[in-house]
Structure formats: structure tokens, C-alpha cells
Chains A and B, each alone.
Chain A
Amino acid sequence: MRPVIQVRQLTKRYGKTIAVDQLSFDVRPGVVTGFLGPNGSGKSTTMRMVLGLDAPNAGQAQIGGRPYRDLRWPLREVGALLEARAFHPGRPARAHLAALAAGNAIPRARVEEVLALTGLEQVAGKRAGTFSLGMAQRLGIAAAMLGDPGVLLLDEPVNGLDPEGIRWIRGLLRSLAAEGRAVLVSSHLISEMALMADHLVVIGRGRLLADTTAAELATQAPSLEEAFLQLTGASTEYRAARS
């Protein structure tokens, strides 16, 4: 199928540091694509560039053939969870969602739908600053789902979730992909990705290390974890001394 997100030669420098280095990959509809790499490997920076929040120094990222800023109804086309707590702590959760809905002419009833979907109905009137990390993540996912988008970008969505929450989000993402949506989900946890993702894009120090399936990667070492560590071994920023 035609890729929905196309990343081509994407490069981002901060001073002398190269955060993302000529990165190219595709995200296709109907599958969960895992975006995997050690801490500081450039996953979040890449996602911010796909969303037009950061400008690349070179290369480009397109969604459905267009840069993000040219989308007609961005939230109805792409849903994103970038960081937990990307909301004002003094604003009630429902108002946060209602504001975003208004920005893309999304019917008000949809706010209640995503609150129900993420299990936040009971706390929707509370100021979001009182939320636990897990509830904050759910609010972020509710915001991403607001426009019922065909493309989802989620940066470390399982952070702060309890085991039940992790299982919930795994099921949610798989069912969203099964409906034909394109799902890109980042993590530094290979074990979680193995359960969640069909396709894997592995990066280290901003460079593409592998663009493969979980099954294929696992054949390269005794275990998937071992294969991941071998792949990223040269590009990990900090490592404990080997004993």
C-alpha cells in the first residue's frame, strides 16, 4: 500500500550536534510501525519535524504527499501524542479537548466520545494539572484521537502507564491499524515493541539502522533484545561499564 508518512533525507542539527542524520523511511497504513532507538537517538526530533513543529535543516517529511502545514484539517488527518502533559495544568481536561476540537471544527460530541474511549469521563472536569502521569497520557491519547485521524504518531505512549494501561494501549493501537490507519509509535523498549509493532524502524544517533519486521530482526540473534542491542550498540550514548 502507498505510504502515508514519507520521511526523506531528513536532517536536523543543533549547533554542532546532529540529532537526525539523513533519515529516510515510510509509514504504511494498516500496520503498527514501531520507531525504536536508544534514548537520545532522534525519535522525538523526527516526530516533531513530521508535525512541522521543528524545521529540518535538510530533507523533508510528508503526510499523504503534503507537508504537515498544508493539511486542511490537521487534527482530522493526523493525531499526535508528543509528550505527556502537553496541556495547561490549570485547564480542565474537557476544556483542553474542546479547545482543540474547536480549532478544527470537530463536533463537540466527539470530545465526550474520546473521553469515554480513554476512560476519563469521571475526571474530565478536573484541572489537568492534578492528573497522574498515566491519566495525563490518556488525555494525550484522547487529544490524538479527537479528529478520528487516519494517521497516528505516538511518542513513548506507554510511559507512566500501569500494566493494565499498557495492555489497553497495545490493543487500541492494533485495532486502529486493523481499521486501516497508519500508526507510528516510538519506544526505547524492544520488548514492548515486539508485542505491539508489525514493522520496525530502528535508529541510533539519528541514523537509520534497520527498516524491517520484528520477526526478521529476531532471526539475527538468539533473542530480539540481543538483536536490538547488537544493532544499536555502537550508537548508545551512555552505557554501564561491562562487568
Chain B
Amino acid sequence: MTAGTRSLPPGRYRFRHVARMEWVKLASLRSTWATLGTIIAAAAGIAVLVAAGTKTASGDLTNSMMTGMFAGVLLAGVLGVLTVTSEYTSGTIRATLAAAPRRPLVLAAKAAVFAITTLITGQAAAFLAFLAGRAALGHGIAAPALGQPGVLRTIVLSGASLALIGLLGLGLGAIIRHTAAAVAVLVGVVYVGELFIGQINRTIDTYLPAYIVGDSIGGRTCGPGAAGCPLPAWAGMSVLAAYAAAALLIGGCILAWRDA
């Protein structure tokens, strides 16, 4: 009886096994559900406050109702960071990699499970924010409807942006491995950078995550030739996706090459 001759089931561990492992890990932490619940509550709650404070129907009301998604995006990003860094802090990463030593497969499974979870949460938060905000609008203000141009797109993309920033956080976690440092970089990239660069260069500004989430996705437009016009909604989403993909790719390489 040796490792090679013991009776083993045919085949080998695959993506679906590792994905199930990652799902059990994600779902078995109370903090996961607390964070996801907070994301939805913040989105809906802030939408109600914004709607209740709206005095005129001028401006993009749908985009205003997505204000609370800003908080959700940051929480999703931090949850993404923690999904990886808490494994390093606790030592779980070594149990994970002992079960599944093909490391790119582990990060891919982690990212897939996390993406689906945050995508569902993001859509729930965005639609709930829209419905709650609409209900809270004062009398005499025409509420936006799902059938109006751009409304559905704004909601769906807001929800999806939550998953993309979450994946950016997950990738940063794999690159940096330390919770505090990775969260600092995430907040720096997503929020603080926008404050600084927004003052210096309006064109670069339009490519920053906060600007995309806040303005591109809402479909805000401006006159031709004006500096700092938001990217079109889908272009903005593509840029966010590229950030997440780049972070995951670099994180995957570092995970594969460095000692665990």
C-alpha cells in the first residue's frame, strides 16, 4: 500500500471540485453574509435618503438612486481582498493548496465563485435601490421607469460594477497578501486616486474606477470637446473589467511563483 497503488477514484480533482471548496469556505463565514447584507441595505437605504431629498425631477434620477452603490462597491472590494488575505493570515492557504496544488486553478475557482456571489448581490442591491428610491420620491416628481432609455442599463451595470471591483480586490489580495496593505491600495486606487488625479488631469480621471462607477455607468454625457467627459457606459465597464483581469492575472502569477 503506497501512495501510488492505493485505490483511488478515476480522474483527478478539477475546477468544479475546487470551486465547490471555495464556495463552502466563502459561505461558511458569518462576515460574508454580514457584508453582503450591508451592501444591499446601504444601497437601498441611501437611495431612499437621496430620493426623499430630491426636490425637482431635473438630472438623472436613476443615477442618483445608485449613490449607495458607491459604499457597496468599496465593501465588495474589501470582501474580495479578505477572501484571499484572510487565508494567508490564518494559514488556511496551505490547507487549500495542499488540497489543490494547481494554483492558477485555485485562483480561478476563487474568482468565479466570488464573481457569481457578488454579481447576484450587486444586482439585488441595484434593483432594490431603484425600487426603494422610486417609492421614496416626493409627489409631483416623475419617477423613472425601467422601460425608459438607459434606466435598465444603469441599474444592471451598477450591479455588475460591484462584482468587478470585488474581483479587483481579490486580485490585489493575491498580489499583496497582507490585509491592511491590500485594502489601502484598493481604497487608494478606487477612491483617493480620483480625488487627486481629478484635480490634475481630467482625462486620466475618466479612467479611474470611482469615475466610471459614478458617471460612465449612469450614462452622463457632456458637450463635444469638453475635457473630462465620462467614457460611454459599456466602454467604462470594459475598463473596469480590464482592471480586474489585470489584477487577477498578476495575482495568479505571483500565487504560482511565490512560496505559500
Contacts and interface: CB of A to CB of B under 8 A. Distances in A.
Interface of A: 1-2, 4, 29, 48, 51-55, 63-66, 68-69, 71-78, 80, 82-83, 85-92, 95-96, 98-100, 102-105, 143, 149-151, 179-182
B97 A53 contact: yes
A68 B13 CA distance: 13
Given A53-B97, A53-B259, A88-B29, 6 more contacts: A63-B3, A78-B98, A85-B90, A87-B90, A88-B87, A88-B90
A4 B2 contact: yes
B260 interface: yes
Given A64-B2, A72-B11, A102-B24, A86 B17 contact: no
A79 B102 CA distance: 17
Contact of B6 (A66, A74, A99, A150): A150
A98 B24 contact: yes
Given A77-B3, A100-B21, A151-B3, A86 B8 contact: no
B95 interface: yes
A132 B196 CA distance: 48
A179 B3 CA distance: 13
Interface string B93-131: 011111111100000000000000000000000000000
By DSSP majority rule, is chain A's interface helix, strand, loop, or mixed?
loop
Given A88-B29, A150-B1, A180-B1, A103 B94 contact: no
Contacts of B5: 64
B95 A86 contact: yes
Given A64-B2, A90-B29, A74 B99 contact: yes
Interface string B1-32: 11111101101110001101111110011110
Nearest to B25: A99
Interface of B: 1-6, 8-9, 11-13, 17-18, 20-25, 28-31, 86-87, 90-92, 94-102, 259-260
A205 B76 CA distance: 46
A99 B49 CA distance: 41
B91 A85 contact: yes
Contacts of A80: 98
A65 to B, nearest CB: 6
B24 A90 contact: no
B114 to A, nearest CB: 14
A51 B92 contact: no
Contacts of A105: 9, 13, 17
9 contacts: A63-B3, A73-B8, A74-B13, A76-B9, A92-B28, A103-B96, A105-B9, A151-B2, A181-B1
A213 B31 CA distance: 50
Contacts of A74: 13, 98-101
3 closest A-B pairs (Cβ-Cβ)?
A64-B3, A95-B28, A103-B21
Nearest to A29: B2
A51 B99 CA distance: 10
Nearest to A128: B90
A7 to B, nearest CB: 14
A102 B24 CA distance: 8
Nearest to B14: A105
Contacts of B17: 102-105
Contacts of A78: 3, 98
Contacts of B6: 76-77, 150
A99 B28 contact: yes
Contacts of B2: 1-2, 4, 29, 64, 150-151, 182
